Amino acid sequence: YTVWLKRRTCWSIVWGGISGGMPILAGRVLALGHVDLIGILLSLAILFWIPTHILTFAMRYVDEYRAAGVPTFPSVYGFRATRLVIAISSVLVALTTGAAAVLIGVRWGFLRLLAVLSTGLFLLALISVFHPNERINFGLFKFASVYMLSAMLVLSL
């Protein structure tokens, strides 16, 4: 998500997601001295989380983005396609976060908590696909933030 891409393509958040995952990967490399699967999974978790978080925000402010001349996924592909991307990315973030948690050796109780959080994220995304409305969409935006914070805390315990 750069000043050069933001106004040119609705796919700029993908590049932002890649750069957003790099600090985790870099931290793992600094700690271990090499790239490992856990670092890659955690970076991918950030990449897959970005659409859930950013696209829900872009849907809420689609008119403002249009007025500013900033292409967003919802303004280019529509809300239905955006909701499907959000649902798919919610599954992918749950899978990558869960796989990283298992490889890290997160305790069973915390794995269950992560599973509950991941299920909540996916269910909200699924509800937004089949019963779209502004309230659910913004609730998903807020829950996505809580999800990532909680997931990172669980992974560190």
* pLDDT, tens only, 6-25: 778 888 888 888 888 999 99
Per-residue confidence (pLDDT) for residue 93, from 0 to 100: 97
The predicted model scores a pTM of: 0.90
Can you read off the two tokens belonging to residue 68? 């500013």
* pLDDT, tens only, 58-107: 999 999 999 999 999 999 999 999 999 999 999 999 999 999 999 999 99
Total domain count, the chain? 1
Give me the DSSP letters along 10-41: TTHHHHHHHHHHHHHHHHHHHHHSS--HHHHH
Q: What is the DSSP letter of 131?
A: S
Can you read off the two tokens belonging to residue 108? 């069973």
Per-residue confidence (pLDDT) for residue 157, from 0 to 100: 82
- Cα–Cα distance between 71 and 130 in angstroms, integer? 25
Find out whether 56 and 86 touch, Cβ atoms under 8 Å.
Answer: yes
Q: 133, 64, 126: which is closest to 94 by C-alpha?
A: 126
- Cα–Cα distance between 144 and 122 in angstroms, integer? 10
Can you read off the two tokens belonging to residue 111? 């794995």
Q: 51, 151, 142, 39: which is closest to 97 by C-alpha?
A: 151
Q: What domain range is 150 assigned to?
A: 3-156
If 0-12 CB within 10 Å is exposed, 13-18 middle and 19+ buried, where does residue 3 land? exposed
Find out whether 13 and 54 touch, Cβ atoms under 8 Å.
Answer: yes
